[in-house]
Amino acid sequence: MNMILPTAISATPNGTTRPQVRIVIVGHVDHGKSTLVGRLLHETGSLPEGKLEMLKAVSARRGMPFEWSFLLDALQTERDQGITIDTTQIRFRTRSRDVVLIDAPGHAEFLRNMITGASQADGAVLIIDALEGVRDQTRRHGYLLHLLGIKQVAIVVNKMDRVDFSADRFKAISDEISAHLIGLGVTPSAVIPISARDGDGVAEHTPRIGWYQGPTVVEALDALEPARPLEQLALRLPVQAIYKFDDRRIVAGRIESGSLSAGDEIVIMPAGKIAKIKTVESWPVTPLTGSHGAGRSVGITLDRELFIERGDVIAHAGAIPRDTRRIRARIFWLHDKPLSKGDQILIRLGTRESRASVVAIEKAVDPGELSNEETKAIARNHVGEIDISLAQPIAADPYQENPRTGRLVIEVNGRIAGGGLVLSVDAGQRAVPIDIVPVESALRPEERSARYHHNGAVIWLTGLPGSGKSTLARALERRLFSRGGSPILLDGDTLRAGLNGDLGFSAQDRTENIRRLAEVATHLARNGHIAVVAAVSPSADDRAAARRIADTTFREIYVATPAEICESRDPKGHYAKARAGTLQAFTGIGNDYQPPARAELSIDTSAKTVSDATDEIERMLAETGILFDELVDLAANI
Amino acid sequence: MHLLDNESGGHGLRPGAFTKASSVPKILANGQLPPPSMDHLDELEAQSIYILREAFARLKKLALLWSLGKDSNVMIWLARKAFFGRVPFPALHVDTGKKFPEMYAFRDRFGKEWDLDLKIEPCPPIDAVDPTLPPAARSAARKTEGLKWALTKYGFDGLIAGIRRDEEATRAKERVFSPRGLEGGWDVRDQPPEFWDQFNASPPPGAHLRIHPILHWTEADIWAYTKRENIPIIPLYLSKDGKRYRSLGDQDITNPVASTASSIDEILTELDGTKVPERAGRALDHETEDAFERLRVAGYL
């Protein structure tokens, strides 16, 4: 038995640096959850002194035989009804870790409490009565584990004493529940025959289950791992509040995934504003240096004053969540009144709340039933897929990409009524007035890419005047055209002669100039062309805005020719004029060019021939999925 | 570890000892730190800060219930971390008038030193309390009444309370954001669902919410964190003449337990081996099987 309390003092006296794993025990009512928990506590020597005796006395006084479950059913009402009505958390320790057992009610009436308990768990134990077999609540709980994102599940087939420890009965149940769970994408880590009342299979293999070779419950629990913070994923910092307690303006929130450091370039979604993290604030020591990872509650200050509010999500440029007003979600519903098409609801996603309406309901089923009878409304304790239209744009991810920013809850009359996973997010719905109806192209993107041997792209060449952007852009245009592609050059100065003729060189006009360039280029890219943009575009903010507009088609190339060489070239005579004072607002002489930090490619034209540089660009485009040569390659990408 | 100790001369304090905290790893000269991987206390702290900030963002008029004990002192510390040094809502001490002198000394000193907006509210006399309760529970119920008075007086819509799941079975069933009825009562049978750190924060007009930022902590966590952060404590928690208090309440209904633990390290070692419940010294928990639950349903902490 590896779950007894260690007799020696552990290396860390309070156990606070030991891993903690939270395990929820779920299953149909009366299948023996509380009994199993009581037995586990007893077997691991975790019971408070006198507790067992006290409960035995209570049982005797009430004229009832002692039940292990009394241990958990601390409330008066529960002892009267003999069921657990809310979740109870019990802690004990193994040699290697602290375990928090969450006992969740099995009664259908209390599904909201089961969800409350299970949502906090790293892993789950699903318990099934060997005599009764898989019941509706067994299936429902299995389905909810999937919706709650719990991947580690061990199955316990309890009350084996009631079926004479029959290996055949065990196998039948094991096969049925395994098939159900695997169908939901949850593979059980073990299926264990036990008798919680007598102790077989809980901490020890006994002769009565001699035919069983797998782990005991205690061993299976030891194999469940604590959930890890999502440091490997892209940064998501939902904003909880802005504090101005002193002269600092602190943006506070918890890092849900990824990590951040002072100096990082960030994007504030859904508005798409750009800023840099100036400091990471704390107390009592501040500011902090270094990287701060997922799970931390932090406070940051930014390098500029901009409008930011609770509900915004901070991300790194190039890896932002989508902004949307339309979400498709797979949800469970807990409210008495069924959820129907047209219902007005409140959505909470991260720290954002938004009014919303249900546009469509599909696949509404009772996950407890075998036959999936679909309906048009989602009844209490049922699940379904819904389309939601939001009153304001929000930042979100599909749950496969980020489980933390890919889940939402639904509130009705100020009370949480359901929740679920974001299946997909319709991007780009923002700022489209309802009386504009864009006409879609008659051609599909695949038709164009099959002809051109490339996908649509926006190639953005940025750099000082004279750095060689136009030269490279023209060489690239020729190269792409020769291989059968459809490149289109968008030169900043050329567009200023027409489309952007109304714009000057103020910061505001430059921003608008870039926005229009990006919009035109993106339109071309969406229609399969490669738009080659050559524009100084000195502002990092403006370029980040262009990247947002072009989204995944954007490829930034920094033409990083040294300033003195650019000035010596001076192909348009601008440097000379600026030096002479006859050309105002010229980028190049001052320090107003902000070089990109995360360009896809950086080229110094003073160190390369035009042909070599073009080769390099072509290679980058092939490696990042824009160019492809043959259908073989195309297939490899699918 | 620092103590408020009435016997150490002067006004009973070691000057300057309270100001230094050691919560943040030393910052290296070149400004570089290895990526911090969070330990158990870091996780607890981050979660509590998240809860405190959610409460502050979503409720209009908050107060933090300061009982002067180890748990609520940790809670104040967490609030100062959450809000960068200063607690932006009142600390409410519902005073039965029967606390230990050491507790009052602690309150008077740290109320000032921590720059708290301290509100001290009295409790009604014992005669005004439900006479069917057993004696100790009836005495404790004064606090529930005092709390109701304070709620009426200030119109708080959220009260932050330092209860923990591991203390007692009925507290294990609590939500982090726990709605209370108009009379302050707790409807344990109809608690709303709460998951994914999304909280029910819309009490009906006139009702209030209890917010429990350290619900997920254990007694050992509290002590380990107190030690790590150098949070001051009342000396009654440490062994004197073979006894110490594990939990502090009113003088007349709180008893010390047998213990030789005279430092936080020794307390942690003691907790590692004990099976005696924390509230063993609290008379009101043990009078009858359901006395504590009845108190809680009526609005006790």
First-to-last alpha carbon distance for chain A, in angstroms, is: 50
Instruction: Tell me whether B42 touches chain A (CB under 8 Å).
Output: yes
Q: What are phi and psi of A314, to 5 degrees?
A: -95, 130
CB proximity list for A510: less than 8 A, separation 6 or greater:
A503, A538, A539, A542
CATH T-level assignment (fold) for domain A20-223? Rossmann fold (3.40.50)
**Listed residue (A107, A109, A104) closest to A135, CA to CA:** A107
Taking 50 as the threshold, does the pLDDT of residue B14 lie above it?
Answer: no
Taking 60 as the threshold, does the pLDDT of residue A360 lie above it?
Answer: yes
Residues of A in contact with B267 (CB under 8 A): none
Structure ipTM: 0.84
Bond preceding residue B203 cis, omega within 30 of 0 = no
Instruction: Tell me whether A95 touches chain B (CB under 8 Å).
Output: no
Residues of B in contact with A231 (CB under 8 A): 35
Taking 60 as the threshold, does the pLDDT of residue B33 lie above it?
Answer: no
For B179, name the nearest residue in chain A, comparing CA atoms only: A415
**Listed residue (A225, A223, A222, A193) closest to A2, CA to CA:** A222
Asked if the Cβ–Cβ distance from B170 to A252 is below 8 Å, we say: no
Of A48 and A287, the structure prediction assigns the larger pLDDT to A287
The H or E element containing residue A181 is helix A167-183
Of the candidate CATH numbers 3.40.640.10, 3.40.190.10, 3.40.50.300, 3.30.70.20, the domain formed by A445-635 belongs to 3.40.50.300
By residue count, chain A amounts to 638
Domain range list for chain B? 40-218+285-297
Asked if the Cβ–Cβ distance from B272 to A87 is below 8 Å, we say: no
Using one digit for the tens of pLDDT, what is the confidence trace for B68-93? 999 999 999 999 999 999 999 999 99
Chain A closest-CA separation from residue B99 CA (Å)? 28
Asked if the Cβ–Cβ distance from B221 to A409 is below 8 Å, we say: no
Neighbours of A121 (CB within 10 A): 24
Angle of helix B40-58 relative to helix B219-229, nearest 10 degrees? 90
Q: Map tokens 């339309």 to a residue.
A: A326
Neighbours of B29 (CB within 10 A): 6
Domain B40-218+285-297 has CATH 3.40.50.620: yes
pLDDT score for A85 = 43
Chain B closest-CA separation from residue A429 CA (Å)? 26
Q: Is A234 strand, coil or helix? A: coil
Taking 60 as the threshold, does the pLDDT of residue A2 lie above it?
Answer: no
- Do the domains at A323-427 and A445-635 have one common CATH topology? no
| pTM listed for this prediction | 0.70
Residue A537 annotated among the catalytic residues of the structure? yes
Catalytic residue among A46, A69, A257, A537: A537
Point out which residues pair with A266 in neighbouring strands: A275, A316
Chain A closest-CA separation from residue B97 CA (Å)? 31
Measure the CA–CA gap between A45 and A134, rounded to whole angstroms.
Answer: 31
Domain range list for chain A? 20-223, 237-316, 323-427, 445-635
pLDDT score for A94 = 67
Residue B223 CA to its chain's centroid (Å): 13
CB proximity list for B81: less than 8 A, separation 6 or greater:
A282, A283, B23, B45, B49
Instruction: Tell me whether A301 touches chain B (CB under 8 Å).
Output: no
Chain B closest-CA separation from residue A348 CA (Å)? 8
CA dihedral B26, B31, B34, B39 (to 10 degrees): 40
Joined tokens for residue B268: 């942690």
Instruction: Tell me whether A9 touches chain B (CB under 8 Å).
Output: yes
For B33, name the nearest residue in chain A, comparing CA atoms only: A290
pLDDT score for A286 = 92
Measure the CA–CA gap between B217 and B166, rounded to whole angstroms.
Answer: 8
Joined tokens for residue A39: 């037995």
Instruction: Tell me whether A419 touches chain B (CB under 8 Å).
Output: yes
pLDDT score for A567 = 86
DSSP state of A258: S
CB proximity list for B151: less than 8 A, separation 6 or greater:
B159, B184, B208
Domain A323-427 has CATH 2.40.30.10: yes
Measure the CA–CA gap between A74 and A34, rounded to whole angstroms.
Answer: 11
What homologous superfamily is domain A237-316 in, according to CATH? Translation factors (2.40.30.10)
Joined tokens for residue A240: 């909880």
Using one digit for the tens of pLDDT, what is the confidence trace for A68-108? 766 665 433 444 444 344 456 677 776 667 788 887 776 76
Residues of B in contact with A310 (CB under 8 A): 57
